[in-house]
């Protein structure tokens, strides 16, 4: 029996329970991220954001970014800490039930077998939250991979993931641990005694059981994570933790009918300590102690798919619920916090959809519609004096609800043996997160107030593009226009020093912002990518994205009219090279460029363009054991991530070397 031949028990193909991508997906803009790209990047978010136009709220990766800024957005229309893209792992949302962001350290790249980036509002099977698109992650269903590594700044990492047969079942498990001594984001003469390192300690574990039941598959999954990190200032830092349970029962539509039933539950907690910075950055003073943010999310969904000749149809139902609250101490005076706050509420969204796709000899046509109902209830913001117990604020926003109809249509035409054209139009919506509705927050001396009256964001868009597939090469290009209505933005409404209602005192060098539905954002742009296998040993790829987004602040934020959304660069580009230099040695280079972006809504804090180069070498020692070395930011570029009102800049990672061993377990 050859080495790669599976044992007899594997004659029944066992994979994680999931429906395959629908036929209509070919009419939309999709980029595939391969397992080897995920592994080489070292972090899932780093692999995804290598695609131009895909970004976290700030430039920093999840290795150093605060959890509340790790929301993912597509096409740079208007990045947000909560994220305007829905991130799914085998159908289960990874977005935090309280804040909408994604804690990326919960998912080691070794645990995944691939990812797909679907741009455009995700009506149809995706629904609420898929405003600028969907990132679909597939957990490993065969084989395995382990890695241990160490690097500069006292970095160490160990991770493993694999699938093993267990009688008629298959067992998947993954675990990861990482520690990093970090670096100081404020450098040079601007740094002072107030500045500290962005250090990290993160761990995660997952267990999944796949059981074939007739022609269907049942997957039961449990996962947990925790991370502790510094915030770059003395006395500031965060802790995030959570657990997930899910059950998925699915049957692929191989014989005409396919279906999926799924239920999941997520819990999360976030602690976040912030400080104020003295003039000259000589010291910090405690400003806020968010000691707990317990939150819970749950969801159920069902889908029925039918394939009959040239037609594929799918109908489904889904519902999600979220509840949580922030518990924090604030107003530091006389050596202690003098007030305490509790703020939070409940949310719900439920919808039904139907889609159909017809495939002809040269044409593919797809369309779908869905109806969603949303609600926001039991909101509370209660603030008390810690010494007297007296109530300072007791706010109970009115319950609200609404209904949204969204749809998408797509066409694809084969123009020849290698060339195809496609066009699509779509709409979608995103309800504000509990965090945006109820939790005020502080970064240094900047304070942002919550707003319980926020309305859901809505997006409509159209796009068209071409795709070409030749011998050893693929290319695609897309032009798009999107309009985002009731865009939620952090709007500047005051500057320190001064005392403001609800927010309290804003120190010198700080500003006061409030989350508002800041009118409308219109964006048009283009994206293109090329992959070419030059020879059996050399492969190159290149991608570019351009987004011209403009704010119309309307009556809520007229001062923003004509400006660009915060954290939204116009240009982003990437060029990569993979060279198999020998039978054992592989070399890779990844060059990325991003144009300037603004750190604030008023476009007054300019973050300069950045050009970074990452290098990697892999050496196969023997069999499936390999050695690697990676050099991130090889040019030691000073990449700005933030800027304070008084002009102090923060930067992302300096040059960073990491070496390690990998071991592949073949299926």
DSSP letter for each residue of 48-61: HTTSTTEEESSSS-
Does the pLDDT of residue 13 top 90, yes or no? no
Residues 6+ apart with CB under 8 A from 156: 149, 150, 178, 179, 180
pLDDT at residue 299, rounded to an integer = 97
Does the pLDDT of residue 14 top 50, yes or no? no
Does the pLDDT of residue 217 top 60, yes or no? yes
CA-based radius of gyration for the chain: 25
Residue 140 sits in a domain whose CATH number is 2.40.170.20
Q: pTM of the entire structure?
A: 0.93
Tens of pLDDT, residues 350-396: 999 999 999 999 999 999 999 999 999 999 999 999 999 999 999 99
Does the pLDDT of residue 12 top 50, yes or no? no
Strand ranges in 39-192 using DSSP code E only, listed in sequence order: 54-56, 72-74, 86-89, 92-93, 112-119, 133-139, 144-151, 155-166, 169-180
Residue 152 lies in a domain: yes
Sequential DSSP letters for 602-664: TS-SEEPPEEEEEEEEEEEEETTEEEEEEEETTT----EEEE-TT--EEE----EEEEEEEEE
Tens of pLDDT, residues 72-114: 999 989 888 888 999 999 999 999 999 999 999 999 999 999 9
pLDDT at residue 485, rounded to an integer = 96
The whole-angstrom separation of Cα 137 and Cα 48 is: 10
Tens of pLDDT, residues 524-574: 999 999 999 988 899 999 999 999 999 999 888 899 999 999 999 999 999
Residue 648 lies in a domain: yes
Q: How many domains does the chain have?
A: 1
3-state SS, residue 72 = strand
Residue 88 lies in a domain: yes
Residue 215 lies in a domain: yes
- Token reading at 11: 């004659």
For residue 15, name the pLDDT band (cuts at 50, 70, 90).
Answer: low
Residue 1 lies in a domain: no
pLDDT at residue 82, rounded to an integer = 84
- Which residues constitute the domain of residue 453? 8-665
Percentage of the chain surpassing pLDDT 70? 97
Question: What does pLDDT average to over the chain?
Answer: 92
Residue 2 lies in a domain: no
Q: Are residues 382 and 343 in contact, defined by beta-carbon separation less than 8 angstroms?
A: yes
Residue 330 lies in a domain: yes
Sequential DSSP letters for 353-383: EEEEEEE-SSEEEEEEEEEEEEEEEEEEEEE
Tens of pLDDT, residues 457-498: 999 999 999 999 998 899 999 999 999 999 999 898 888 888
The whole-angstrom separation of Cα 412 and Cα 424 is: 9
């Amino acid at each position: 029996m050859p080495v790669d031949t599976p044992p007899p028990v594997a004659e029944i193909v066992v994979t994680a329970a999931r429906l395959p991508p629908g036929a209509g997906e070919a009419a939309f803009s999709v980029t595939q991220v391969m397992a080897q790209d995920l592994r080489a990047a070292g972090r899932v978010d780093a692999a995804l954001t290598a695609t131009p136009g895909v970004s976290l709220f700030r430039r920093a990766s999840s290795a150093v970014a605060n959890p509340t800024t790790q929301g993912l957005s597509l096409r740079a229309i208007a990045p947000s800490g909560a994220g305007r893209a829905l991130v799914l792992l085998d159908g289960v949302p990874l977005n935090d039930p309280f804040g909408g962001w994604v804690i990326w350290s919960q998912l080691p790249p070794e645990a995944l077998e691939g990812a797909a980036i679907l741009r455009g509002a995700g009506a149809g099977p995706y629904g609420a939250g898929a405003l600028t698109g969907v990132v679909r992650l597939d957990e490993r269903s065969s084989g395995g991979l382990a890695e241990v590594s160490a690097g500069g700044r006292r970095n160490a990492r160990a991770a493993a993931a694999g699938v093993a047969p267990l009688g008629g079942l298959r067992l998947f498990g993954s675990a990861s641990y990482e520690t990093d001594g970090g670096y100081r984001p404020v450098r040079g003469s601007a740094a002072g005694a107030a500045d500290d390192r962005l250090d990290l300690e993160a761990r995660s574990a997952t267990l999944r059981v796949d059981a074939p039941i007739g022609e269907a598959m049942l997957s039961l999954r449990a996962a947990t994570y925790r991370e502790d990190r510094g915030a770059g200032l003395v006395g500031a830092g965060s802790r995030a933790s959570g657990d997930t349970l899910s059950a998925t029962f699915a049957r692929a539509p191989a014989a005409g009918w396919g279906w999926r039933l799924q239920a999941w539950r997520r819990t999360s907690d976030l602690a976040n300590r912030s400080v104020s910075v003295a003039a000259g950055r000589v010291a910090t003073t405690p400003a806020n102690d968010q000691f707990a943010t317990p939150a819970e999310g749950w969801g159920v969904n069902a889908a029925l798919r039918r394939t009959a000749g040239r037609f594929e149809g799918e109908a489904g139902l889904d519902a999600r619920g979220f509840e949580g609250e922030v518990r924090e101490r604030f107003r530091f005076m006389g050596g202690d916090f003098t007030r305490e706050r509790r703020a939070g509420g409940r949310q719900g969204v439920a919808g039904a959809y139907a889609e159909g796709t017809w495939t002809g000899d040269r044409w593919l046509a797809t369309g779908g519609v869905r109806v969603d109902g949303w609600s926001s209830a039991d909101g509370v913001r209660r603030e008390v004096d810690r010494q007297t117990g007296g109530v300072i604020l007791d706010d109970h926003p009115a319950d609200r609800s609404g209904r949204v109809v969204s749809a998408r249509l797509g066409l694809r035409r084969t123009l020849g043996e290698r060339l195809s054209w496609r066009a699509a139009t779509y709409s979608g919506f995103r309800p504000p997160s509990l965090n945006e509705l109820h939790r005020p927050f502080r970064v240094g001396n900047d304070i942002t107030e919550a707003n319980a009256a926020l309305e859901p964001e809505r997006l409509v868009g159209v796009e068209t593009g071409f795709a070409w597939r030749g011998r050893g090469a693929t290319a695609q290009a897309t032009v798009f226009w999107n309009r985002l209505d009731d865009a939620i933005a952090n709007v500047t409404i005051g500057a320190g020093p001064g005392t403001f209602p609800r927010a309290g005192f804003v120190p010198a060098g700080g500003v006061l912002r409030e989350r508002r539905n800041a009118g409308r954002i219109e964006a048009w742009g283009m994206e293109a990518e090329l992959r070419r296998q030059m020879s059996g040993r050399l492969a190159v790829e290149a991608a570019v994205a351009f987004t011209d987004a403009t704010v119309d602040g309307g009556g809520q934020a007229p001062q923003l009219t004509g400006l660009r959304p915060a954290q939204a660069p116009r240009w982003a580009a990437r060029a990569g090279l993979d060279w198999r230099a020998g039978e054992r040695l592989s070399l890779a280079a990844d060059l990325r460029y991003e144009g300037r972006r603004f750190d604030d809504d008023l476009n007054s804090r300019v973050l300069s363009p950045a050009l970074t180069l990452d290098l990697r070498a892999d050496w196969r020692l023997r069999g499936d054991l390999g050695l690697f070395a990676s050099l991130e930011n090889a040019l030691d570029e000073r990449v700005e991530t933030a800027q304070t009102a008084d002009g102090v800049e923060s930067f992302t990672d300096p040059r960073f070397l990491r070496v390690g061993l990998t071991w592949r377990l073949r299926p």
